[in-house]
Amino acid sequence: MHIRSAMLLAVALSFPGAAVAQMSRAALVKQSDIIFIGTVTQVGAVAVPEVPPSERTVVVRVDQVIEKPAPVALTAGDSVTVEAARAGSLKAGIQATFYTTGWIFGRGVAVREVGHEPGQSPVVAADAREAVARARALVNDADLKAHIQRAAMVVAGRVEQVRPAELAAAPTRPRRITEHDPDWQEAIIQVEDGIKGAKAGEQVVVRFPGSRDVAWVGTPRFAVGQEGTFVLHKDSTTGSPLTMLAGQAVPAYTALHQVDVLSKQDATRVRALIKKP
């Protein structure tokens, strides 16, 4: 056993709550989008003029950024205003890993605390980035597993064709075109590995928005030749659940969430999650 692993095992055995702490970390990660290690430099103060100081605001010097959205400008050495989850919980001089959500981005960064882990924790101090990465992986796997369980079909395959969708008109009201119209398209996928609800050799039709309107930002799109692992749901969005394929009416599916389209290599991970109790 490596010395590092032995140290962590000793910590876990010495503190029966270590497993609970790991569960808590996963919960913190799930609710956070900005995670960093920092040192409290001022209490009852702010570093962002847009935020009024209060008994819950503290200024934290960033020592290490662990996770953040790409557009957020945050680096080591920056001073961040943190609104503490509880007044008096953060004292000057404390170093901790801060789990936060973005609040105000102007002449600086202000965040709201979800929770924090004191820096003197052996696991956090030695393995902060790895610990958060492990917790994030647990959260992502749990979310993906739940998503797979709700899916009608999961396949690995290749997009053979993309065509405009021909949707049946709603019987009760005419279709109204707006600037947010999705411009539905259909991708015909050749199934190479039927992981759930399909067999290799079948073809399935997946609807997706061709529009680049802001209403559809982040929604997966398909292109001929694209390969991947696709988590598919019966079409309950367009109001037209069937489509035509090879002269026959077949169910149409959608993949509107970012985790619905994964890499082809993710098929192994997805299959393992399905089997995992």
Closest CA to 58 of 34, 92, 14, 31: 92
Considering only residues 240 and 132, tell me which one the structure prediction assigns the higher pLDDT.
240
CA dihedral 109, 115, 120, 125 (to 10 degrees): -70
Identify the band that residue 169 occupies on the pLDDT scale cut at 50, 70 and 90: low
Distance of CA 167 to CAs 184, 212, 220, Å? 9, 20, 20
pLDDT of residue 2: 39
Using 50, 70 and 90 to split pLDDT, how confident is the model at 129? Answer: low
Assessment of whether the complete model's pTM goes beyond 0.85: no
- Per-residue model confidence as pLDDT tens digits over 224-277: 999 999 999 999 999 999 999 999 999 999 999 988 999 999 999 899 888 877
% of residues, the chain, pLDDT over 90: 62
Nearest to residue 64, comparing CAs of 93, 98, 89? 98
Of 115 and 106, more confident: 115
| pLDDT of 107 | 86
Residue 8 has pLDDT above 70, yes or no: no
Residue 75 pLDDT > 60: yes
3 state SS of 76: coil
DSSP H helical segments within 16-121, as ranges?
18-31
Instruction: Report the chain's mean pLDDT, rounded to a whole number.
Output: 84
Whether residue 195 is predicted with pLDDT greater than 90 in this model: the reply is yes
What mean pLDDT do residues 180-208 have?
A: 95
Q: Is the pLDDT reported for residue 144 higher than 60? A: yes
User: What confidence score (pLDDT) does residue 27 get?
Assistant: 85
Q: What is the pLDDT of residue 25?
A: 80
- pLDDT of 217 higher than 90: no
Residue 32 backbone dihedrals phi, psi, to 5 degrees: -110, 150
CATH numbers and ranges of domains, the chain = 3-132 (2.40.50), 151-169+182-275 (2.40.50.120)
| 74 closest CA partner among 65, 82, 85 | 65
What average pLDDT does range 42-62 have in this prediction?
A: 95
pLDDT in tens, 27-39: 888 899 999 999 9
